[in-house]
Amino acid sequence: MRILDQDLMRIDNLLTADEHDFYKDQVILITGIAGSVGFELVNYLLKYSGAKKIIGIDNLILGYPVWLKRLVNAGIIDFYYRDISTVSLSEIRASEEASVIFHMASVASPVSYRENPLLTMDANVIGCRNLLDYYKDKKIKSFCYFSSSEIYGSPDIDHLPTDESYVGAVNCVGPRSCYDESKRFSETLCYVFARQYGMPCCILRPFNIFGPGMKVNDGRIPADCAAAILRDEDIKIFSDGTPTRTFCYISDAVVWILKAAAKGRYEIFNIGSDGPELSIKDFCELCIKVGKKKRNYTHSFSFCVSDDKEYLTDNPPRRCPDLGHSSESIGFSPTVSVTDGIDRFLAFFNDYGDRFLEEWSW
């Protein structure tokens, strides 16, 4: 059985009967559908949710992935090539029928959002306001906003691991601020619309999600490692390798997302994995170990200096979530280890063979 099919089956088995019923016969709108999370989320909703219709909106700034193109060409989903910050939602067929909204439109890779700061801010702020204004008077079941762990900035030692009550330590005028601060402001929008209009806004703060759906030229370390292993090249580390992160495999992330959105009320959730907290060097070494076993990988890693002089500016030295609130409220804790996640990510490409260069580096 393919890795994708295994992941989707596992996601379905981890949802309760009430959570299954939440999505059945619903019209679901997903902005940023072409992003890395969209791949498994959309495939799950199509195969298992019983949703009436899936509507996707994306400006395709990072490309038109082959998996999405195939679904669109087959007429399986309604797709609109639009910018969420400027689109008139009233012109989107069946948008008024949507009862579950996943707002994921954004540029999440640090490499990409530094290259596109205004587009990043517009998607996060204007796009979010556009959606909230349109749906504030409609009877929706859930408005799920995909925020980021970046809103915490660089927490001090007393706030690591970091829970949802931490207000953050973010530089509002740095090279990463276009992403960090616009995500923070969009959370404020959701908070205000929840208070004034009773909108069921669910805010998710993901921590380092990886796996099938990431394009191999994404620019984040899991994708860099996968690309190097698949090409049998050195993994390039553009730091001293000491910053630490926790890593969450995509199928666990999709379970978090579906369970949180199905709560149908205003609430904030960290989603991700709370351990182990690995240095970038340790994560690369783990990828190398799995790569040698699964792909006969023959290379290692090398330390490099990025051409971008601001590449490491405001890069948090540590990032690790406190999942206490999320686990208690949602009733879920991640179960895929980082080693198994890396194994599954690499095995996913085996399902596609040499076509990965065409299909997963758009």
Q: In the chain, what are the domains?
A: 3-211+248-274+319-335 (3.40.50.720)
Q: Determine whether 172 is exposed, middle or buried from the number of CB atoms within 10 Å of its CB (0-12, 13-18, 19+).
A: exposed
Task: Provide the pLDDT confidence category of residue 353 given band limits of 50, 70 and 90.
Answer: low
In order of 118, 178, 217, 250, 305, the CA distances from 172 in angstroms are 14, 8, 28, 30, 25
CB-CB contact of 27 with 94 (8 Å): yes
Average pLDDT over residues 208-237: 93
- What percent of the chain has a predicted confidence (pLDDT) above 70? 97
- The Cα–Cα gap between 159 and 269 comes to 16
Q: What's the rounded mean pLDDT across residues 211-238?
A: 92
pLDDT tops 70 at residue 360: no
Question: Rounded to the nearest 5°, which phi and psi values hold at 133?
Answer: -60, -40
pLDDT interval class at 109 (50, 70, 90)? confident
- What pLDDT score does 309 carry? 84
Q: Phi first, then psi: give them for residue 48, nearest 5 degrees.
A: -120, -20
> How large is the average pLDDT for residues 147-156?
95
Residue 356 has pLDDT above 60, yes or no: no
Output the pLDDT for position 116.
87
Q: Is the pLDDT of residue 321 over 80?
A: yes
Q: Mean pLDDT throughout 257-285?
A: 98
Output the pLDDT for position 278: 98
What pLDDT does residue 143 have?
A: 98
pLDDT at 29: 98
Give the pLDDT confidence of 20-60 residue by residue, as tens digits: 999 999 999 999 999 999 999 999 999 999 999 999 999 99
Whose CA is closest to 140, among 258, 22, 37, 49? 22
- Sign of the C-alpha dihedral, residues 222, 224, 230, 233? negative
pLDDT, residue 351, reads 81
Mean pLDDT of all residues belonging to the chain: 94
Q: What is the dihedral of CA 247, 252, 258, 259, to 10 degrees?
A: -100
Assess whether pLDDT exceeds 60 at residue 358: no
> 362 pLDDT band (50/70/90 cuts)?
very low
